Amino acid sequence: MAKGTKYTAREADENGFIHYTQDEHAVWGELFERQMEIIQGRACDEYMEGIEKLGITADKIPQLEDVNQVLRKTTGWEVAWVPALIPFTKFFNLLANKKFPCATFIRTREEMDYLQEPDVFHEIFGHCALLTNPYFAEFTHTYGKLGDQAEKEYHVWLARLYWFTVEFGLMNTPNGRRIYGGGILSSIGESQYALTDEPEHRPFDIMTVLRTPYRIDIMQPIYYTIDGMKQLFEIANMDIMAHVKEAKQLGLFEPTYPPKEDKLAS
């Protein structure tokens, strides 16, 4: 997960306050207003309730401590400052301790529509709202503990479970299919695309999920759908590592997407 980045995370001052520029606040505001309009009727109710609990608005980038005050009261979680993308080992360890990593930079206007690495908008707007939900919070905590204890050879297999749930998960509700994955909810393109007839929607099956390859730089051709937030709690109580080990033995399915273009090819 670690790689080079052109962004630099904002560090807090001696009082724990992170100083952002007016332009950075403006970028947050534009992203916030745009996404809030798009996800109406697309995001799951639990997410919308979480946004309300957090009290975040378009006015400014939230301070981590303000988010933490809400998360501590609801599920005992916190967001933790990180410089940028972090290694799997650090990522799992933070989640195991109920700390959600958050790089405190925000994308530039040139990358408003798509940013490959997670910024403060993706982490807080995309993920923190659902960390107020006990089922989602328990699943994420269990996932972190498993990864923290697992041998490194299993990390990439666990990553697929996270990808198709926390990042790009969909949910069946009495009002139809809804989004709960933060990677979708924080993306203008994917939040409109995910519920259309273009991608394939499959019911969640842990073995299938673990064996499904993905690319991070395209719209997802496949989404997995759970039957309500409580199913995440049920998944957390499975013997996930037994499934991971079996999936590793069986190997990956053939990709349903084209191979990445080789930029070095003539």
Residue list for the binding site: 122, 127, 167
From 127, 141, 187, 243, the catalytic residue: 127
The three-state secondary structure class of 81 is: strand
Phi, psi (deg, nearest 5) at residue 253: -75, 165
Q: Which of 24, 46, 78, 186 is catalytic?
A: 186
Question: Which residues carry a binding-site annotation for Fe cation?
Answer: 122, 127, 167
Question: Which member of 78, 167, 187, 191 is catalytic?
Answer: 167
Q: How far apart are CA 34 and CA 167, in angstroms?
A: 19
Q: Is 266 known to be catalytic?
A: no
Q: Which residues, other chains included, contact 77 with Cβ-Cβ below 8 Å and sequence gap of 6+?
A: 71, 98, 99, 100, 131, 137, 141
For the chain, strand residue ranges (E) read 78-82, 99-103, 170-173, 176-179, 200-203, 222-226
Whether 127 is a known active-site residue: answer: yes
Is the Cβ–Cβ distance between 170 and 194 less than 8 Å?
A: yes
Residue of 24, 117, 122, 191 marked active site: 122
- CB atoms inside a 10 Å sphere around CB 117: 18
**Would strands 222-226 and 200-203 be described as parallel, antiparallel, or unpaired?**
parallel
DSSP 186-204: T-HHHHHHTTSSSSEEEE-
Residue 181 Cα distances to 129, 171, 172, 225, 239, angstroms: 11, 9, 13, 10, 23
Report which residue type is found at 180.
Y
Our answer to whether residue 117 is catalytic in this structure is no
Q: Reply yes or no on whether 123 is catalytic.
A: no
**Residues annotated as part of the active site:** 122, 127, 167, 186
